[in-house]
A and B are shown apart, each in its own frame.
Chain A
Amino acid sequence: AAGVIQSPRHLIKEKRETATLKCYPIPRHDTVYWYQQGPGQDPQFLISFYEKMQSDKGSIPDRFSAQQFSDYHSELNMSSLELGDSALYFCASSISRTSGSRDTQYFGPGTRLTVL
């Protein structure tokens, strides 16, 4: 079965640079979530989109922005990168239309961002 695709899988950036992470949800999934997992930490919710509109907002820094496109893929844009942004960034997707599976978020493999 198709899974959530994230690219790139690894990214190395310098301080103050920008980064763009991409997420391709499972086909027919209409909701995308972004989570950040620091070293040894649990995943923390950043932001989510439903049908291309922002749905919920968590602890996302003002330096970050995200959007969901017409094909439902999403991008997380990160600017003025700081050392503390080094983390594993997960994208998850879910479907809201089918009651049987709509409650489950399926996660991608993550993008490991290292800021030097």
Chain B
Amino acid sequence: AQSVAQPEDQVNVAEGNPLTVKCTYSVSGNPYLFWYVQYPNRGLQFLLKYITGDNLVKGSYGFEAEFNKSQTSFHLKKPSALVSDSALYFCAVRSRGGNTPLVFGKGTRLSVIA
């Protein structure tokens, strides 16, 4: 069975500081990993994904994530946070093969303070 853990319900960071939102996963075989962001009363917006290749993945809005196979982690990072980054962030995993559904973590609420 697949699972995702986001150990922090809430992350607070000052504007301009680097941010990290943590994610660890459990899946048999090699995973497909994703980050989505959800703004209030909005849908889930795709940020980035890791499928294969370079462990550092760059995505939308200056976000990046590092895949670490030994630690089964896929932490989301941004060098300099913006107030507009404040939102709910979900890490998700799916197994390879076919159009398999996503399994989401519980989400981490990011609050960037001016």
Contact = CB atoms under 8 A, between A and B. Distances in A.
Q: Do A and B bind each other?
A: yes
Interface of A: 4, 31, 33, 35, 41-45, 48, 50, 55-56, 58, 90, 92, 94, 96, 102-110, 112
A43 B34 contact: no
Contacts of A58: 101
Interface band, chain B: 20 to 34
B46 A104 contact: yes
B15 to A, nearest CB: 26
Contacts of B104: 42-44
A26 B90 CA distance: 22
Interface string B75-114: 0000000000000001000100011111111110000000
A108 B36 CA distance: 13
Contacts of B101: 33, 45, 48, 56, 58
Given A43-B104, A103-B51, A104-B49, 19 more contacts: A33-B101, A42-B104, A42-B105, A42-B106, A43-B102, A45-B101, A45-B102, A55-B99, A58-B101, A90-B44, A92-B44, A102-B99, A103-B49, A104-B34, A104-B46, A105-B102, A107-B44, A107-B45, A110-B43
Contacts of A112: 41
A42 B90 CA distance: 8
A36 B101 CA distance: 13
Contacts of B45: 107
B43 A55 contact: no
The CB with the most chain A CB atoms within 10 A, among B45, B100, B101, B105, is that of B101
Contacts of A94: 99
The CB with the most chain A CB atoms within 10 A, among B32, B43, B104, B105, is that of B43
5 contacts: A42-B107, A92-B44, A92-B102, A103-B51, A109-B43
The CB with the most chain B CB atoms within 10 A, among A90, A102, A107, is that of A107
The 4 closest A-B pairs by CB, nearest first: A45-B101, A42-B104, A107-B44, A109-B43
